[in-house]
Amino acid sequence: MMRASLLFMLLTLLYGCGERIERFSGPTMGSTYSIQYVPTAQTPDSRKVKAEVERILETLDQQFSTWRGDSVVSRFNDLPAGACQAVPDDMRHLLAYSELLFRESGGAFDLTVLPLMNLWGFGPHSREKQVPDASALARERERVGLQHVHLDGEKLCKDVAAQLDFDSLVAGYAVDRVGDRLSALGIQAYLVEITGELKGVGRKPDGSPWRIALEVPSGGREQHVEHAIALDGYGVSTAGDYRNYFEEGGQRYSHTFDPRVGRPVKHALAAVTVVDPSALHADALDTLLMVLGPEEGYAFAERHDVAAYFIMHQGLGFVARATPRFESLFPPQGKTKH
């Protein structure tokens, strides 16, 4: 699974204090994770910290991975219409938040798009990227819509053969879970990155904050730094479409789907970054705004006071636009000319 945020963010180097920052990394969720933290006299051994982090990641992968047939979500997806399955607390929590976003976005944020992703060639069970025929598209759309699944106590039920995909928010949730665990272990300053989703808390030993750079693609190989963001208590997530797409018949088809019409989005939004104290919220909201597009998405972000940074295609290049909330948190400063 490739996360678009890796295309738009670079972690800054930690000059002059490497020996006082613990680092470790590894594979997870079809991608990678990396942890950096400032140890103290009360902090457990780094091997114990890594084991605690990887225990959380393995638990979430066992629940939410659509790439492994034994996961909780894969077993639910294999069930027929009318069936129910007991699901863990983590999944019920993410479902409740997803239902809220589903309602607030008029169905633009929808966890049940997996059949469409597979049909168009972007899902874990795809054969090739192609435009499906109208009858196949109509058939799969019958299975799409979060209104077709509901919680009944500890069980999750479906009234059609719906399939869930939590990739739009589970990595952000993992960042929050790992951050909470690091705090519980007495770690007061850390930078957590999981499949490109980020959260920074506290400060480095030299007193400087954890920083990332938001970039605007130039249309070529070079990219230009637009904002250097200091993170202290904020999660950051970026969704984008300009690298993951296919072309057929002179048309460009993005991997970002609008569940309301059953097709890839056609608007000019190339990427959107969301900053929020909750990495879960940032991760979900960037997907929601990416589906809604530059006008509808910007209006949604403004209405809900979301700190968001939009990058739009314009001719052969790109232009950027920030919401008032984003600009209040991170005022523009010293932009690189391009």
Q: What is the pLDDT of residue 137?
A: 77
Q: What is the pLDDT of residue 317?
A: 83
User: Is 5-63+169-329's fold the same as 68-158's?
Assistant: no
Q: Where are the alpha helices (DSSP H) in 121-169?
A: 134-141
pTM: predicted TM-score of the whole model, two decimal places: 0.88
Residues contacting 98, CB < 8 A, separation 6+ = 109, 111, 146, 169, 284
Q: What is the DSSP letter of 203?
A: B
Cα separation, 222 vs 185, in Å, equals 40
Fold of 68-158: T-fold (1.10.3980)
Q: Residue 162: name the closest of 279, 83, 275 by CA.
A: 83
Question: Two tokens at 198?
Answer: 């980020």
Cα separation, 272 vs 301, in Å, equals 11
Q: What is the pLDDT of residue 20?
A: 85
Length of the chain: 338
Q: What is the pLDDT of residue 15?
A: 37
Number of CB atoms found within 10 A of residue 259's CB: 21
Number of CB atoms found within 10 A of residue 86's CB: 11
Taking the alpha carbons of 42, 47, 283, 259 in that order, is the dihedral positive or negative? Answer: negative
The mean pLDDT values, 10 residues at a time, for the chain of 338 residues are 40 46 94 95 94 98 93 97 97 97 96 85 64 79 94 96 95 98 96 95 93 70 64 92 52 70 82 96 97 96 97 86 95 53
The residues spanned by each domain of the chain are 5-63+169-329, 68-158
Question: Containing H/E element for 314?
Answer: strand 307-314
Task: Please identify which residue in the block is written with the tokens 């970054």.
Answer: 273
Cα separation, 27 vs 53, in Å, equals 12
Q: What is the pLDDT of residue 97?
A: 97
User: Is the CATH number 3.20.20.370 carried by domain 5-63+169-329?
Assistant: no
Dihedral, 241, 196, 72, 76 alpha carbons, nearest 10: -10
